[in-house]
């Protein structure tokens, strides 16, 4: 069975893209006309949202759709497990439920609207629940601009009197990386934030909206490869700012403040360089010139031809194959994640030490030398 659903409509100043245009008003004009090529990951996320919507509306469990096709994606054991957890979570919140609810926040953002995954009205509290099926970037509920805009829209849609609600609670459910968070904001503070949003939205739609580079706003910007403001910003980060820092005792080495400055902006610098390289590659593939560069064939690795298995089996028999245990991911697909956990046959070694900002929620490691001792 195949289930097909249409794509969601998106506003020019969308809630999902609000981290970009709120922080960089000029991003709206910069991205105008640029095609969003999408990705298989985004399409899979859409299919997962469709499954969740059907289950919530029909009172079903995702297992009822196991093996079926939704918008080109098969509902496998993993999707059943992840969406099953989300469905149970939403149903556990008491109140009046609304799913895939279109919300209008145009009172604060011109032509602003969006679709909230789930809204629950529980007395004086208005819950906005957002399912995140991606596993690349962890999303936090605290000060989440998408959730806050949905909160404004939901308040506008469901409040008859000003005192119908006093609290807006935002929930993020991101099951594939076990990231779950919730955050509450008073209606008074949310409305005050809405006044600031109104100013930023008007600025974003103006002809001379400024470009303001930064990690949040540049991450998903389609124009970053050719953005002069970002190029100048990264150049400042890795060169000029060092002049303002205290000189190192050893002039040939970066001091601690300089090291921290580079690490703090590593992600932004790396993403910009990757975007520039990808943009140049596209130009060369289309026959355009990039001064000083050309396309060549990359390194190639030998692989078996289509008839190799037949010939090698005839020549070597069983020696043509290596026998090894399947991976944990493959076992989960065959057995089921929960059942595999109950079998207690997996272990999770300590991860390799990695550098993160102090704001990261994970506990810091003790002295590495002491740990090995």
pTM (predicted TM-score): 0.74
For the chain, the average pLDDT equals 87
Closest among 130, 174, 175, 125 to 149, alpha carbons compared: 130
Q: What is the pLDDT, as a whole number, of residue 293?
A: 87
Q: What is the pLDDT, as a whole number, of residue 161?
A: 82
Confidence of residue 4 (pLDDT cuts 50, 70, 90): very low
345: pLDDT strictly greater than 70? yes
| Residues in Cβ contact with 128 at an 8 Å cutoff, skipping those fewer than 6 apart | 116, 118, 119, 147, 150, 151, 154, 168, 169, 170, 171
Rounded to the nearest angstrom, the gap between the alpha carbon of residue 84 and the centroid of all alpha carbons in its chain is: 20
User: Token pair of 47, please?
Assistant: 């299919």
Mean pLDDT, residues 74-92 taken together: 94
Residue 115 near residue 100, CB atoms below 8 Å: yes
Q: How far apart are CA 40 and CA 234, in angstroms?
A: 30
Which run of H or E residues covers position 283? helix 266-285
Q: What is the pLDDT, as a whole number, of residue 8?
A: 52
7: pLDDT strictly greater than 70? no
Residue 81 near residue 337, CB atoms below 8 Å: yes
User: Any bridge partners for residue 167, and if so which?
Assistant: 125, 186
5: pLDDT strictly greater than 50? no
31: pLDDT strictly greater than 70? yes
Question: Phi and psi for 102 in degrees, rounded to 5?
Answer: -75, 130
Which is more confidently placed, 336 or 37?
Answer: 336
Which residue ranges make up each domain of the chain? 2-204, 223-285
Q: What is the pLDDT, as a whole number, of residue 369?
A: 57
Question: Phi and psi for 74 in degrees, rounded to 5?
Answer: -80, 135
User: Any bridge partners for residue 99, and if so which?
Assistant: 118
Confidence of residue 10 (pLDDT cuts 50, 70, 90): low
Confidence of residue 38 (pLDDT cuts 50, 70, 90): low
Instruction: Note the CATH number of domain 2-204.
Output: 3.90.320
């Amino acid at each position: 069975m195949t289930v097909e659903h249409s794509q969601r409509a998106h506003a020019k100043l969308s809630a999902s893209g609000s981290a970009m245009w709120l922080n960089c008003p000029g991003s709206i004009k910069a991205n105008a006309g640029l095609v969003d090529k999408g990705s298989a990951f985004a399409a899979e996320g859409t299919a997962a949202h469709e499954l969740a919507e059907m289950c919530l509306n029909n009172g079903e469990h995702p297992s009822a759709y196991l093996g079926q096709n939704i918008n080109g994606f098969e509902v496998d054991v993993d999707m059943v497990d992840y969406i099953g957890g989300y469905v149970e979570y939403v149903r556990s919140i008491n109140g009046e439920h609304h799913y895939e609810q279109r919300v209008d926040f145009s009172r604060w953002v011109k032509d602003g609207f969006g679709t909230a995954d789930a809204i629950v009205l529980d007395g004086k509290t208005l819950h906005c629940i957002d399912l995140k099926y991606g596993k690349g970037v962890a999303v936090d509920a605290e000060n989440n601009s998408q959730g806050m805009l949905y909160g404004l829209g939901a308040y506008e849609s469901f409040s008859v009197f000003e005192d119908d609600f006093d609290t807006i609670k935002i929930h993020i459910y991101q099951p594939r990386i076990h990231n779950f968070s919730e955050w509450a904001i008073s209606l008074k503070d949310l409305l005050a934030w809405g006044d600031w949003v109104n100013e930023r939205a008007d600025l974003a739609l103006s002809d001379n909206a400024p470009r303001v580079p930064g990690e949040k706003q540049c991450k998903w910007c389609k124009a970053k490869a050719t953005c002069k403001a970002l190029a100048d910003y990264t150049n400042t980060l890795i060169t000029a700012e060092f002049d303002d820092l205290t000189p190192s005792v050893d002039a040939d080495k970066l001091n601690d403040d300089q090291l921290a400055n580079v690490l703090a902006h590593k992600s932004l610098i790396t993403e910009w360089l990757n975007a520039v390289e990808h943009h140049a590659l596209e130009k060369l593939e289309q026959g355009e010139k990039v001064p000083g560069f050309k396309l060549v064939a990359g390194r190639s690795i030998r692989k078996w031809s289509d008839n190799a298995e037949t010939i090698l089996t005839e020549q070597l028999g069983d020696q043509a194959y290596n026998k090894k245990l399947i991976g944990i991911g493959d076992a989960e697909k065959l057995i089921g994640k929960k059942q595999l956990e109950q079998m207690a046959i997996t272990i999770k070694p300590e991860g390799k030490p990695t550098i993160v900002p102090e704001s990261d929620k994970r506990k810091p490691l003790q002295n590495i030398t002491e740990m090995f001792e």
